[in-house]
Amino acid sequence: MTDTTKLPKGGVNPPTELPGPRDHAIVNAALPNRAIIPMLQHVGRPAICTVKRGDTVSEGMLIGRADGPQSANVHASVPGVVAAITEIMLASGERCEAVHIDLGGSFQTSGKPRTARPWKSLGAPELLERIRAAGVVGLGGGAFPTHLKLARTPGTCTLLAANGLDCEPSLGADDALLREKAPEIVEGIHICQALLSPGRTVLAVSECSADLVPELERVIRDAGVPAQVVVLPARYPQGHEQLVVAALEGRPPRRDPSSVAVNVATLHAMFEAVVLGRPLIDRVLTVTGTTVARPHNLKARLGTRVGDLLEECGMDPARTAKVVLGGPMRGVTVDSLDLPVTKATLGIVAFSRDEAKAPRETACIRCGSCIEVCPWDLNPTRLYKLIRMGDDSQAAVEGLGRCTECGCCSYACPSRIPLSAVLGDGRRRASALGNGGGRNV
Amino acid sequence: MSWAAIVFTFALVDNVVLSRLLGLPAAGQPGARPTPADHAADDPSIPDSLTSARSLPPGGREGARAAAVPAWWLGASMTVLMSISAVGAWLVNAWVLAPLGFTILRTPVMVFLVAGLALALQALARRVVPSMANRPEVSVPRLGVNCVALGLVLVTTRAEYGPLQSLLAGAAAGAGYYLVSAMMGAIRERLDIEQVPPALRGLPLQLITAGLMAYAFMAFDRAFLARLLGA
Amino acid sequence: MSSARMAWLASLGLLPAAAWGLLLFGPPAAAVLVVSIAAAAACELAVTLPRHGYTLSDGSAFFTGALVALMMPPAVPLYVPAVASAFGILVVKQTFGGLGRNWMNPAMGGVVFSFLSWPGLMSRWAAPLGSAAAGAEVPPLEALRAALAASGPRDVTPLGVLGRAGYPFSPMDASAVGWVNSHVLAPLGAALPQGSFDILVGHVAGSIGATCVPLVVAGAALLLARGVIRWHLPVFYLGTFALLSLVFGGLGTGQGWFAGGPGFHLLSGNLVLAAFFAAPDPVTSPLTDTGRLALGIILGVLTFLLRFFGSLADGAAAAILLGNCISPLLDRWLERRKSRVMEREAA
Amino acid sequence: MTDAGSGPIRPAAMREAPAVLLLLGFLPSVVVAVRVVDALWMAAGVLLVSIGSAVARSLLDWSSGSPGASTVGQTARWLRALVVSSLLTAAFEAALLAVAPAASAALGIYAPLVAVNLLAVGTDAASPRPLRAALGALHKGAWYAAGLVVVAFAREVLGAGTITLFPAGGFGGTIVVSALLDQPVRALGLAGGGLLCMGYLAAAVRAVSARKTGRST
């Protein structure tokens, strides 16, 4: 059964200037000659490197052991020799160890058929252990260790939402996965159900993927999984966990422990981990931008150089002024193209010069557009002025903590005020002061 | 003068704040939450850069939180004080001053009357709603309150109203004061977080705002009243 | 669309009405327009150049000057629009820090200031082009007031009252109304009163930019179409006003219920101009559609009261100033309600 | 001073220059500051009453052998100031009525209000030495008088096109500014005009004092 639910409030229609991926196909990216694999690709403590220079590693071999529960395993994405172990700075600005692997040797796993391991008989602990061992983290950008997210006492979860909405405009990886890996994703949903025994399970897809609904429903029926497909509007930032849940439950968004949303890419990774026993060594990401000749959804090995992927898609270096990791709205601008793809890299967007230059900020004319588009029902212009006056704590009192920097306000502002960025800084300061400014995700 | 006319006159036409200038609500006092803006009023250099946002000393913050006094409290205390003192003034005037011919002593007597009533009210408020009354910035015998009440008392006694008319006038004036203080509070709330010229921040802008509001309220003039009520 | 673009579009929306005004009233009107805009621009520059640099490009000062001019009577001495614009820019706007920080609409502030200062000068009307008859220089609204003030038998509709008082409508009006009555309405057994044509196309005395309501609305349509202003405030403003004036408009003058003649009152005075170009000013109107809608209703009531009982011209400008005083309150209340709802949701 | 009287005015005092504070305290009398002459009468009254009450209260302090604020309670001092200043005000009213009935009519209820206005500045402990107290009051009162006259001057010249002073000999008491006489800016004569003038005066005072302190430090 299918129905369409609206955003409770707010949101913007995706910026149309940017082309999405040319087609829905997932293209395998070329293997990197040298993979640079950071030990910190997730939320939490960095993994502990278990290899040293000169070691020979096989594909999928554990090279970083999770440092305690608040961490995740890291595996070699390509076979080869450890050329170096250096400290690098990630796009987020964090520093961590990274293992440089020079491609070489043979592939034991890739391309070879894998036998499905039975899992239905397993209990929650074993399932979670398989997920943990494979180093699965949230692939929707959050990169929160999945074995932590799904470790809950059964029955406490009323709603399980499989999130098939790409979380930013002009990104198409989740849509592509739904088209090519529906059975795997559905089995992933099944695994989640086994773990959570939720009251209700929904596979939420975007309007862009609406044509898939019959197919998805067929797959679900064949798999005998009790789940329902729901189409949600393509408006940004509908893909955000809280907004998916809010739309499904028809209420304003808020942090709500009784509902769990899992990205379809994560579900696919869970399937591979639990059923195929394959660790997380690659991910699907969208490479796009006005200066990119052939935008594609690439399936890239973790540790592949960002620059290589852009080249592969035909980026014109002369015209490119700015490259962001993530999406056009919330992506992080990177200063070097040598950064590796990590588990958290949703996409790579290249901007031309005139797109990149920041528009001139003018005075706020109190038009209220930011209030209208804010999905969290905040008053961005007032919060902005409070922060500007240095009254972060009052801003926190007025709900600054709910801001997720989705960027809708900045996008809608006719005066081109960088509302989202300023609110983000203020929120971080306020939460540092520890007066209720904490982010809630 | 009909009852409605009295109400309109004292609430809008002869508004105690905008037309008689008896006291200025929310001038660095109740109705508005002190923000860094108020402290920034001292130094003309409010940081424009977003990164170097100034944070207040904790004392200042506590003060800021404590000073958030609902406008209705101000309006209510005003209205009560004004109504009572208007009636009291009428009684004193009619039964004491006029018979004895001490009209020259009207001013001191009225001053004591209002001041006494104000103190009594404050004592009472301390009993009934200590949460409100114990805040220094809302102590009922504020200068403003005295001023408004006394001015009103003098107006009514000179206008030779009856007791009920005086009561009504007091209540209406209180309502008018509440209306204006609410408006000015809301406007101040807006201005507090705007980058206004430093020299004008605070009291000067309060005065200018009141001036502009007074122009707006000029729409309610006596001719309007006469046509509307046929008075 | 950038805010500057919005302001310039708003000025563009004033163009049709302004052109009509210049056509009707000729060079004096042009002089008023030029002086008013020049004064506004000069004041803006004088204040902002030292502090914020060149701000004329944001278009707001130009718009203020133009709007002030369009609300002036054609034969007003030139220092009146100059002072009005200067007051609007210097006192109402720049005192609070410039664009976006003022809580009162600069143009309306300036206009009301000049009404209060020079009530006599603000009624220096001029006869429109092509109607030289004596008394043609009096705007219909004023003529109506005078006629109603005089005692004697009353016609029920404003135009009827004017007709009986012998208001000199143009020959064009006579022919047009006559033709419509004989060819279109006669079969239906209806008839338009004399003056309908003049009032509709704005071929009457009045403020420079407010006589021809259709052109004003045409300009406003552009703003609505381009999303510069939203429909809530103007629609509810004019709707409330029309309803009230229809029902109660006739009571004050002894014409009885449902005799206010909303059509006449919508088409005369600065009301529509103010309702589309001053009231929805984003800076001084509420932040949310709910607030704008509420303010629209409040403004409708206020304008009705002030037009039928007040003494400040047609009441629109004064009502909008009062509305400016109210909208911060509306914002505050809506904000509080929202937060209360949120707390309930969270709990 | 957190109790009655001038307590509430203090938070503002922390932030505002004293002259500005005075302007706030004396706000009501701006209503009558439409003509220079009225402003002068009002200023005279204020000076008289403030100096008188300052002297009287310092004498009382001195006689009661308790100089300074320490021993006398806030409310008590407030009431005492009330007594003194209101009696003086009554005296001033009577005198004005006798000397210049026209002016007394013009001042209307606002002359009595002076008594209350004085509480804005009158309740802080008067200096135990009567002379110093008088000088202090004179200083404050002079600030106030200057402000009031400036406001009145601006409003009368622009708002009415005249400058009204005391008639003396051949001089009728009114100077006419012919340029503005026929079409003055009447709006400035209204209450709103008074508030606007006060606002800009307050801003000017603050700007000047700020520059002073800036130079001194």
Distance from CA of C116 to the nearest CA of B (A): 8
Order of strands across the sheet that contains A320-325:
A26-28, A296-301, A282-289, A347-352, A320-325, A332-334
So what's the pLDDT on residue B133? 60
Compute the distance between CA of residue D70 and CA of residue A247 in angstroms, rounded to an integer: 67
pLDDT in tens, A207-217: 888 899 999 99
Compute the distance between CA of residue A271 and CA of residue A262 in angstroms, rounded to an integer: 13
- B139 domain-assigned: yes
CA dist list (Å): C26 to C126, C128, C273: 10, 9, 20
- Touch between chain D and chain B: 3 or more Cβ pairs under 8 Å: yes
Answer yes or no: do B203 and D90 touch at CB < 8 A.
Answer: no
C178 touches chain B (CB under 8 A): no
Share of chain C above pLDDT 70, in %: 98
Q: Which residue has the higher pLDDT, A436 or B57?
A: A436
So what's the pLDDT on residue B70? 67
Confidence of residue B140 (pLDDT cuts 50, 70, 90): very low
So what's the pLDDT on residue D115? 63
Compute the distance between CA of residue D123 and CA of residue D2 in angstroms, rounded to an integer: 13
CA dist list (Å): A397 to A95, A370, A383, A392, B37: 33, 19, 10, 9, 18
Hey, what amino acid is at A351?
F
So what's the pLDDT on residue C160? 86
- Whether B214 shows a pLDDT value over 70: the answer reads yes
What's the length of chain D?
A: 217
- B51 domain-assigned: no
Mutate to test the interface with B, among C325, C331, C335, C339 (most CBs of B within 10 A): C325
Backbone torsions φ then ψ of A112, nearest 5 degrees: -95, 140
Q: Which residue has the higher pLDDT, B221 or B125?
A: B221
CA dist list (Å): C336 to A361, A378, C329, C333, C342: 29, 12, 11, 5, 10
Compute the distance between CA of residue C307 and CA of residue C296 in angstroms, rounded to an integer: 16
So what's the pLDDT on residue A22? 65
Compute the distance between CA of residue C152 and CA of residue C142 in angstroms, rounded to an integer: 18
Confidence of residue B156 (pLDDT cuts 50, 70, 90): confident
Look up the domain containing C196 and give its range. Answer: 141-201
Share of chain C above pLDDT 90, in %: 65
Residues with Cβ within 8 Å of residue C180, at least 6 apart in sequence: C192, C197
Closest by CA to B201, choosing from D149, D191, A389, D7, is A389
- C112 domain-assigned: yes
Compute the distance between CA of residue D71 and CA of residue D64 in angstroms, rounded to an integer: 10
- C177 domain-assigned: yes
So what's the pLDDT on residue C185? 87
pLDDT in tens, C90-121: 999 999 999 999 999 999 999 999 999 999 99
**Tokens coding D2:** 């957190």
Compute the distance between CA of residue A334 and CA of residue A342 in angstroms, rounded to an integer: 14
Nearest residue on chain C to D200, alpha-carbon basis: C95
Which parts of chain A have pLDDT scores under 70? 1-8, 14-20, 22, 433-441
So what's the pLDDT on residue D17? 41
Within this chain, do residues C94 and C29 fall inside the same structural domain, yes or no?
Answer: yes
Closest by CA to B19, choosing from B142, B114, B152, B146, is B152
Chain B interface with A: residues with Cβ < 8 Å: 33, 35-37, 40, 46-47, 50-51, 53-56, 61, 64, 192-195
Q: How many domains does chain C have?
A: 2
Within this chain, do residues C282 and C324 fall inside the same structural domain, yes or no?
Answer: yes
- D174 domain-assigned: yes
So what's the pLDDT on residue A283? 94
Chain A interface with C: residues with Cβ < 8 Å: 251-252, 254, 359, 362-368, 371-372, 377, 379, 381-382, 398-399, 414-416
Compute the distance between CA of residue C46 and CA of residue C61 in angstroms, rounded to an integer: 12
pLDDT in tens, B169-196: 888 988 888 899 889 889 988 998 998 9
User: How high is the mean pLDDT in each 10-residue block of chain D (217 residues)?
Assistant: 33 40 66 85 84 80 56 65 80 86 80 66 58 80 83 90 78 78 88 90 84 68
Within this chain, do residues C182 and C210 fall inside the same structural domain, yes or no?
Answer: no
Within this chain, do residues C93 and C188 fall inside the same structural domain, yes or no?
Answer: no
B163 preceded by cis ω (within 30°)?
Answer: no
Compute the distance between CA of residue A307 and CA of residue A288 in angstroms, rounded to an integer: 13
Residues with Cβ within 8 Å of residue C154, at least 6 apart in sequence: C148, C161, C253, C254, C255
Answer yes or no: do B208 and D196 touch at CB < 8 A.
Answer: yes
Lowest mean pLDDT among A317-321, B154-158, C75-79, C125-129: B154-158
Q: Which residue has the higher pLDDT, B154 or B51?
A: B154
A339 secondary structure, DSSP code = P
D115 touches chain B (CB under 8 A): yes
Closest by CA to B145, choosing from B29, B63, B19, B32, is B29
pTM for this entry: 0.88
So what's the pLDDT on residue B31? 33
Nearest residue on chain B to C331, alpha-carbon basis: B186
Answer yes or no: do A365 and C346 touch at CB < 8 A.
Answer: no
- D1 domain-assigned: no
Listed ranges C70-84, C152-166, C239-253; the one with the highest mean pLDDT: C70-84
- D3 domain-assigned: no
Distance from CA of B37 to the nearest CA of D (A): 11
Within this chain, do residues C105 and C13 fall inside the same structural domain, yes or no?
Answer: yes
- Whether B37 shows a pLDDT value over 70: the answer reads no
Q: How many domains does chain D have?
A: 1
Q: Give the CA angle between residues D79, D85, D90 to the nearest 5°.
A: 125
Look up the domain containing B78 and give its range. Answer: 3-42+58-229
Compute the distance between CA of residue B192 and CA of residue B46 in angstroms, rounded to an integer: 12
Answer yes or no: do B143 and D12 touch at CB < 8 A.
Answer: no
Confidence of residue B47 (pLDDT cuts 50, 70, 90): very low
Angular region, B114: left φ>0, alpha ψ -120 to 50, beta rest? alpha
Confidence of residue C61 (pLDDT cuts 50, 70, 90): very high
- Whether B126 shows a pLDDT value over 80: the answer reads no
- B161 domain-assigned: yes
So what's the pLDDT on residue A222? 93
Distance from CA of B3 to the nearest CA of C (A): 19
Average pLDDT of C259-273? Answer: 90
Look up the domain containing D198 and give its range. Answer: 15-216
Collect all residues of chain A within an 8 Å Cβ-Cβ radius of residue B50.
387-388, 422, 425
Domain chopping of chain A, boundaries: 124-276, 369-433
A partners (3+ CB pairs within 8 A) are: B, C
**DSSP calls for A181-208:** -HHHHHHHHHHHHHHH--SEEEEEEEGG
Backbone torsions φ then ψ of A165, nearest 5 degrees: -95, 130
Compute the distance between CA of residue B224 and CA of residue B13 in angstroms, rounded to an integer: 9
So what's the pLDDT on residue C285? 95
Q: How many domains does chain B have?
A: 1
Collect all residues of chain B within an 8 Å Cβ-Cβ radius of residue D107.
none
- B79 domain-assigned: yes
Q: Which residue has the higher pLDDT, B154 or C324?
A: C324
C318 touches chain B (CB under 8 A): yes
Collect all residues of chain A within an 8 Å Cβ-Cβ radius of residue C286.
368
C partners (3+ CB pairs within 8 A) are: A, B, D
CA dist list (Å): A50 to A59, A61, C84, D151: 15, 10, 78, 82
B22 touches chain D (CB under 8 A): yes
pLDDT in tens, C237-257: 999 999 999 998 888 777 778
**DSSP calls for D7-54:** TTHHHHHHHS-HHHHHHHHTGGGGGGTTSHHHHHHHHHHHHHHHHHHH
Identify the three-state secondary structure at position D69.
coil
Q: Which residue has the higher pLDDT, A160 or B118?
A: A160
Chain B interface with C: residues with Cβ < 8 Å: 182-183, 186-187, 189-191, 194-197, 200, 205, 208-209, 212-213, 215-221, 223-224, 227-228
Confidence of residue B1 (pLDDT cuts 50, 70, 90): low
So what's the pLDDT on residue A7? 54
- Looking at 3.30.365.10, 3.40.50.11540, 3.40.50.150, 3.40.1030.10, the CATH number of the domain A124-276 comes to 3.40.50.11540
Q: Which residue has the higher pLDDT, C209 or D69?
A: C209
Nearest to B219 among C308, C318, C326 (CB): C318
Residues with Cβ within 8 Å of residue A296, at least 6 apart in sequence: A21, A22, A23, A25, A27, A286, A287, A313
Nearest residue on chain A to C291, alpha-carbon basis: A368
Within this chain, do residues C301 and C189 fall inside the same structural domain, yes or no?
Answer: no
Query: Across chain C, what does the average pLDDT equal?
Result: 91
Identify the three-state secondary structure at position D141.
helix
